[in-house]
Amino acid sequence: MTLRVLVILYCLLISVGAAGQENVSMFTVDAGYASVHDSYLTPITYGGTDLALGYEAMRSMKRYSDKWLWQLQVGADYNYVENDAKNNQLHKLMGDITFDMQRQWRGAIAQRVNLSVGPMTQLRAGIIYDEVNSNNPVSVRAHWNVGVTGMATFDTRMWRIPVTLRYQAQLPALGVFFAPEYDESYYEIYLGNRKNLAHLGWWGNRFDMTNYVGADLHLGKTTLRVGYRARLEHWNVNYLKVHDVGHSLVLGINL
């Protein structure tokens, strides 16, 4: 009897499930590995845990629903990383908000393949705390940028369940970011030494990129997400270098 009920429920979910990526509201959890290098705090690269919480909304634009969509992503990520000797740890906490508008081409390559591309803007900020460094235990991160994002989706079925496969890349191009002078303490900044703190970011001194690949399983009104996200943040200015890399498994559900 129980098996029969489960089979009926499964068939109902399949019958009402609908693939598609134009209208999404998704809460996600990321977990994986992070590599953090911030020469303002230490010349050593630290490695450890990458955790993140996020929310994504994606909607077709009402007047141009067949051509344009907008996407909003809000998130916070935390890295707990340590050096190879295991005698020092860094805590990195960042938050970001990203908004983009993408031009769609439905059935661009095949009937169920959709492509989209468009401009994006992102604001990302946070801090890194060094447990051992007593002179300058904190490094502040803040940047705003504009760039381009592109996405490819493919609607298919897996064991009769509607599935949307998706790849998306986000590539900032120009922006403004914060960086102190080499060996300048935040106490000096507090006292009024605020020259040369804001820098124009471009691919000559800053390169960031986020790649995501995953699948959305449409189970009736519920959508489950599983995927992989790779994030790169790199800049080099004032003889200071930052090179952070994150690799994480993404799990999500619409609520």
**6 or 101, which is more confident?**
101
Which range (100-109, 134-143, 189-198) has the least confidence? 100-109
User: What pLDDT is recorded for position 127?
Assistant: 97
User: What pLDDT is recorded for position 159?
Assistant: 87
Q: Which residue has the tokens 């690799």?
A: 247
d(CA 235, CA 168): 22
**What is the amino acid identity at position 30?**
D
User: Is residue 22 over pLDDT 80?
Assistant: no
| Distances 199 to 59, 154, 165, 172 between C-alpha atoms, Å | 34, 40, 38, 15
Among 137, 153, 126, residue whose Cα is nearest residue 225: 153
User: What pLDDT is recorded for position 183?
Assistant: 87
pLDDT tens by residue, 149-170: 999 999 999 888 999 999 999 9
User: What pLDDT is recorded for position 3?
Assistant: 42
Query: What does the buried/exposed string (b/e) look like for 52-68 if buried means 16 or more CB atoms within 10 Å of the residue's CB?
Result: bebbbebebeeeeeeeb
User: What pLDDT is recorded for position 9?
Assistant: 36
**Could you give all domains of the chain from N- to C-terminal order, each with its CATH number?**
2-253 (2.40.128.100)
**What is the amino acid identity at position 144?**
W
Q: Which residue has the tokens 């393949």?
A: 113
Mean predicted lDDT score pLDDT of the chain: 89
User: Is residue 111 over pLDDT 60?
Assistant: yes
User: What pLDDT is recorded for position 16?
Assistant: 34
Which range (41-55, 68-82, 101-115, 217-231) has the least confidence? 101-115
User: Is residue 15 over pLDDT 60?
Assistant: no
User: What pLDDT is recorded for position 67?
Assistant: 86
Band of residue 60 on the pLDDT scale cut at 50, 70, 90: confident
**3-class SS at 255?**
coil
User: Is residue 177 over pLDDT 60?
Assistant: yes
Q: How many residues does the chain have?
A: 255
Band of residue 126 on the pLDDT scale cut at 50, 70, 90: very high
Instruction: Report the percent of the chain where pLDDT is more than 90.
Output: 73
> To 10 degrees, the CA torsion angle through 168, 171, 175, 180?
100
User: Is residue 11 over pLDDT 60?
Assistant: no
